[in-house]
Amino acid sequence: MHLRATEHMRYVMSSAATGDCFFSCGNGPSILTEIYLATDLSHCGLLVTPLAGDEMYKWIYESATGPKPASPYFVWEAVRDHEEAYDFITKAPRSRGTRLVSLDDVLQTECREYSLYLSHLIEPKKTTSSVERVHARNNILLKFFIEMSQHDYDDSWITPLRAGYDGPLGENPADDPRIFCSDSVARAYQHMELLPPGINTREITPVDFTRMQFLNEAYLKPPVLIADAGVEPFANHIGALVCTPCVLI
């Protein structure tokens, strides 16, 4: 089943930049995560917008191998046995682990019946221009993405339960090399100097990003629906579980 772009997608994406966060929700296998965390958001990824001249752009557009994407937008995500999509970091189709995929691929091949949201990163205390920040972050993230492509996905069902539980014995080991979606995005934010290096990224869930205060008073705006899979999130049927301030415009 293909995602349908909403009429507001072009408007929302016109101001999108590296550092914005993608979320998905729906009635697929992640439904238990949605129920347990009391949210419709069960998966997340990082938006990446390569700009001419930076290393990320050269890696993607000036490479001798691989397709040349038509869209300027990419999603970096960690997935577990997902539908295969071309990864612009490893230059090969990839269905497991981290991958940098074209937003077009997400829209055209997504078959989990999940809807897609975008949260813009707001930085009130920025000291450089938006273009300068994106160039610098893309250069840093490329090295990080290459390194993370060697990490396997964490298959343990206990990991997300611990990440969403703050009681005794509820903390995930910080030194576990395996990754999952929100863990990988949090690590990326650390490399972008938006999260402190000392936090345990394996304790962060997708919904945490929507209510998190980043360094220098940065924050993510409420998620906005940009692509609709045509299904109502399961949590909407049991409205008491919905607590995330998604904005449907």
* Mean pLDDT for back-to-back runs of 10 residues, the chain (249 residues): 57 86 73 58 92 94 83 93 91 95 81 77 88 95 97 86 72 88 96 94 91 94 83 41 35
What's the confidence (pLDDT) of residue 65? 80
**Domain count along the chain:** 1
Domain-located, residue 247: no
Phi, psi of 47 (to 5 degrees): -75, 140
In sequence order, which residues have a C-beta less than 8 Å from that of residue 160 and are 6 or more positions away? Answer: 33, 36, 180, 205
Asked if the structure places residue 248 within a domain, the reply is no
Q: Output the six-digit token pair for 17.
A: 């930049």
pLDDT of residue 104: 85
3-state secondary structure of 3: coil
Residue 246 counted as domain residue: no
pLDDT recorded at residue 21: 96
Distance of CA 190 to CAs 65, 107, 130, 154, 193, Å? 30, 28, 18, 20, 5
The answer to whether residue 21 sits within a structural domain is yes
The pLDDT tens digits for 89-131 are: 999 999 999 999 998 888 776 645 678 889 999 999 888 888 9
Q: Are 84 and 95 in contact (CB under 8 A)?
A: yes
**String of b and e for 76-107 (b: at least 16 CB within 10 Å)?**
bbbbeebebbbbbbbeeebeebbbbbbbebbb
Q: How far is CA 4 from CA 7, 12, 77, 109, 226, in A?
A: 9, 15, 20, 11, 9
pLDDT at residue number 4: 55
- Residue pair 20/120 in contact (Cβ under 8 Å)? The answer is yes
Which domain range does residue 95 map to? 4-241
Q: Is residue 249 part of a domain?
A: no
- Residue 71 maps to a domain: yes
Tell me, yes or no, whether 218 lies in a domain. Answer: yes
Contact (CB, 8 A) for 199 and 191: no
Rounded (5°) CA angle 13-94-178:
95
- Residue 111's pLDDT is what? 47
What CATH number has the domain bearing residue 171? 3.90.1720.10
pLDDT, residue 121, reads 96
Helix (H) or strand (E) holding 105, with range, is helix 103-109
What DSSP designation does 153 have? B
